[in-house]
Amino acid sequence: MREMFIFAPLMRAHKQILNLAVPNIISNITVPLLGMADLAMMGHLATKEHLGAIALGTTIFNMIYMVFVFLRMSTSGFAAQSIGGGNPTESILILGRALLVSFSAAFVILILQVPLERLSFYILEASHSVEEYTRSYYRIRIWAAPATIAIFALNGWFIGMQNARIPMTIAIFINLVNILLNFVFVYYLGMDSNGVALGTVISQYAGLIMAMVFLFRRYGALLSLWSWKPMFEVDALFLFLKVNSHIFIRTIVLITSLSFFTAMSARMGDTVLAVNSILFQYFLLYSYFLDGFAYAAEALAGKYYGARQLGKLREIVKQLFVWGLGIALFFTLLYTGGNSWILRLLTGQEEVISRAGPYLFWVACIPLITFPAFLWDGIYIGVTASAPMRNAMFFSAALVYFPAYYLLHPLMGNHGLWLALMLFMLARSLSLSLMARRHIFTSR
């Protein structure tokens, strides 16, 4: 009986983590499944230009929307702290500020859609026919911006409120509606890539409506606490925007770093680009799982930090790292022992498979090197320590990643690029770990 009392808090901690992590993992997995469905529909049409338009158009919107991930992150951290601190009024005001920022950002995107279109096609080159189809796709899908960015804010708020099931349900609903509409628009109405774009727009607004239904039904009592004047309280709004600006800069540096990897791969030829792009999918697959625990870290770290329960914060961080290490070991063993069949699942081109062999070692290193950075990101977001998180990203990119590449690539070729990427990830893990005592486990 005594042992049950000893292990009860430990079991509760693991249950809290899994209740948040598992729905987020499911939500993450729905994203590539939808992309695969879109590409599969285009892949069975008579012309390949529509397939290229979907791929290029998806890349453009990934670039645009990845920048606004900061809104989900900061909203999650602030909401979790308000709940932990027993301040329900502040939690609903945080949602109001997040939606204000999201709709303002979407308004700017719609106003600047023409310059954004020109910039996108200046950066991404394609054949004339593919570019024309992509422009048409872009001009339809851009109108989903208000719904898409608002869903970022709402999902972040739901996670901060310790509810990951609602974002999971919304993600599944959006993707099912999207696939159904795409099927109707493409196969029955003959709209090709434009049909996929229209399906995305409608499904995003359908998801926003569902999110609002959940908000009013589940959190109706909180909505009665909301009012205009405190939402625009200068200090609170300034802090919200300040934290968002730090995460925004951190995200830009991360996008630049990963884009640099792709750009340098392209410089080494089409085969190396194909090899590195295929191998990078290993990292993305692993990230879908570990991101679920990072989201759990945002919610739980924010809750205990907001409640000023630093002992419980330390304990939940320990349990998060137990799960992170377990996931990392699993994927390391999977990538070490099963890399051949995974590679053949991703591509059937024998030249790419044979050229990828020497670089599979780097793929197996990724989980153990990166899992601390994933988890610390979630923890830092939860306690809204955004400035040190931004600084760690700057340090890792500017002082480690880029110098390492220019030093190692002339000596090691593509191995030098991969080693530089590993050093970048290791630098993030170590720098965030070293700063944790000061920025995570000390009340501000």
Percent of the chain that is helix, strand, coil (3-state, to 5): 90, 0, 10
440 and 341 in a common domain: yes
248 and 224 in a common domain: no
Ramachandran bin of 124, using left for φ above 0, alpha for ψ from -120 to 50, beta for the remaining angles: beta
Structure tokens of 302?
Answer: 């924010």
Query: Would you say residue 11 lies in a domain?
Result: no
Largest CA distance in the chain: 73
Q: Which domain holds residue 58?
A: 18-232
Query: Would you say residue 12 lies in a domain?
Result: no
275 and 129 in a common domain: no
251 and 220 in a common domain: no
88 burial type by CB count under 10 A (0-12 exposed, 13-18 middle, 19+ buried):
middle
Query: Would you say residue 419 lies in a domain?
Result: yes
248 and 127 in a common domain: no
Query: Would you say residue 427 lies in a domain?
Result: yes
Query: Would you say residue 444 lies in a domain?
Result: yes
Q: What is the pLDDT of residue 6?
A: 46
Residue at which a domain ends, from 212, 232, 252? 232
180 and 66 in a common domain: yes
341 and 275 in a common domain: yes
- Tell me, yes or no, if the pTM score tops 0.75: yes
Structure tokens of 405?
Answer: 């590449």
* Distance in angstroms (rounded) separating the CA atoms of residues 153 and 169: 16
Residue at which a domain ends, from 232, 262, 287? 232
225 and 290 in a common domain: no
Per-residue model confidence as pLDDT tens digits over 130-165: 778 788 888 999 999 999 999 999 999 999 999 999
Q: What is the pLDDT of residue 46?
A: 45
Q: What is the pLDDT of residue 148?
A: 92
Query: Would you say residue 170 lies in a domain?
Result: yes
Find the helix or strand (DSSP H, E) in which 308 lies. none
398 and 251 in a common domain: yes
Residue at which a domain ends, from 232, 252, 282? 232
249 and 223 in a common domain: no
168 and 30 in a common domain: yes
Domain count, the chain: 2
Query: Would you say residue 3 lies in a domain?
Result: no
115 and 23 in a common domain: yes
Ranges of the chain whose pLDDT falls below 50: 1-7, 46
- Report whether 270 contacts 276 (CB < 8 A): no
Query: Would you say residue 381 lies in a domain?
Result: yes
- First and final C-alpha spacing in the chain: 40
